[in-house]
Amino acid sequence: MTVTDNGVATPAPAAGADAHPTMDINLHVWRQAPGQEGRMVTYVEEAKDISPEMSFLEMLDIVNERLIAKGEDPIAFEHDCREGICGSCGMMINGQAHGPQKGTATCQLHMRKFSDGDEIYVEPWRARAFPVLRDLIVDREAFDRIIEAGGYMTAPTGAAPDANLILVPKEVSDAAMDAAACIGCGACVAACPNSAAQLFTSAKLQHLNLLPQGQAERYRRTVAMVDTMESYFGSCTNHGECEEACPKEISIDFIAYMNRDYVKAQLKNRKLAGQTST
Ligand code: SF4
Ligand code: FES
């Protein structure tokens, strides 16, 4: 029995038991300087005494502090919000985009998902459209090109209207909200055997295309974004790996909606072109 500062008695830990167990990890990380070939580097000493309560990124922070203390270059990885919102922290962990926990971005993955003595392999996204900039950081600019092609509304909307002025059925607003949950992380591309970006593009399209405010530019937007997507990324062959890897669990149903809109757009835009030329 031990007595704490405030006089509360607690049972003493059993002989040999550790009140704060830590983990020793055999960490293998892809290191790549700009413009050079990359390689896996193993860190054992630097990845000792890791708390299971740390997030995966906090574990990398600890490893980096130890590397800096030894005068070595820290591992470069991208992060910002650390709460599953910004989409910047993507990396392959043991061959899985964002690691072993479904529906979870790397920053929200905790070391308790791993065990003492585990081998953990960490790599950047692997896709031709996402070139490696350094270590675990890739250039996701191709996503920006897709958004620039039409992932917005140009219609002047004026001041904020009264609530409920534009009625939207609950199912439609729920679906648009689900699509809007995409954080642009790129896990769908990294997980796809074709490096296709259909899940990302369809989510970015449908959160606008489903709502009344998005109708004016719906078909022009769809063609512009899909055509831009196809100039950077591979084609979808319905593997479904994207949905499995997505930390926001975006449904591949959105890809079907996107394909429907794309086919419709070919007809509608052609009709409009015909009308303007006569
Ligand atoms: S669809 Fe999912 S996996 Fe793809 S970019 Fe959006 S959030 Fe990331
Ligand atoms: S750091 Fe923002 S989603 Fe992970």
Alpha helical stretches, state H, the chain: 56-69, 141-150, 170-180, 187-191, 198-209, 218-232, 241-245, 253-277
Concatenating the DSSP letter of every residue in 39-92 gives EEEEESGGG-SB-TTSBHHHHHHHHHHHHHHTTPPPPP---SSSSSSS-----E
Between CA 258 and CA 275 the distance in angstroms is 25
Q: Which of 80, 98, 140, 182 to mutate to test the pocket of ligand 2 (most atoms within 8 A of CB)?
A: 80
Cβ(87) to ligand 2 under 6 A? yes
Q: Distance from the CA of 232 to the center of ligand 2, in angstroms?
A: 24
Cβ(89) to ligand 2 under 6 A? yes
Q: Distance from the CA of 248 to the center of ligand 1, in angstroms?
A: 7
Instruction: Name the one residue in this structure whose structure tokens are 């899909």.
Output: 226
Tell me which amino acid residue 132 is. Answer: V
Tell me which residue has its CA closest to atom 3 in ligand 2: 84
Q: Which ligand is nearest to the CA of 105?
A: 2
Q: Which ligand is nearest to the CA of 106?
A: 2
Task: Please list, in sequence order, all residues whose beta carbon lies within 8 angstroms of the beta carbon of residue 58, skipping any fewer than 6 positions away.
Answer: none
- Stated pTM of the model: 0.89
pLDDT tens for the chain, 278 residues long, are 444 444 444 455 455 455 569 999 999 999 999 999 999 999 999 999 999 999 999 999 999 999 999 999 999 999 999 999 999 999 999 999 999 999 999 999 999 999 999 999 999 999 999 999 999 999 999 999 999 999 998 877 778 888 788 899 999 999 999 999 999 999 999 999 999 999 999 999 999 999 998 999 999 999 999 999 999 999 999 999 999 999 999 999 999 999 999 999 988 766 666 654 43
Q: Which ligand is nearest to the CA of 90?
A: 2
Q: Distance from the CA of 78 to the center of ligand 2, in angstroms?
A: 8
Q: Distance from the CA of 98 to the center of ligand 2, in angstroms?
A: 11
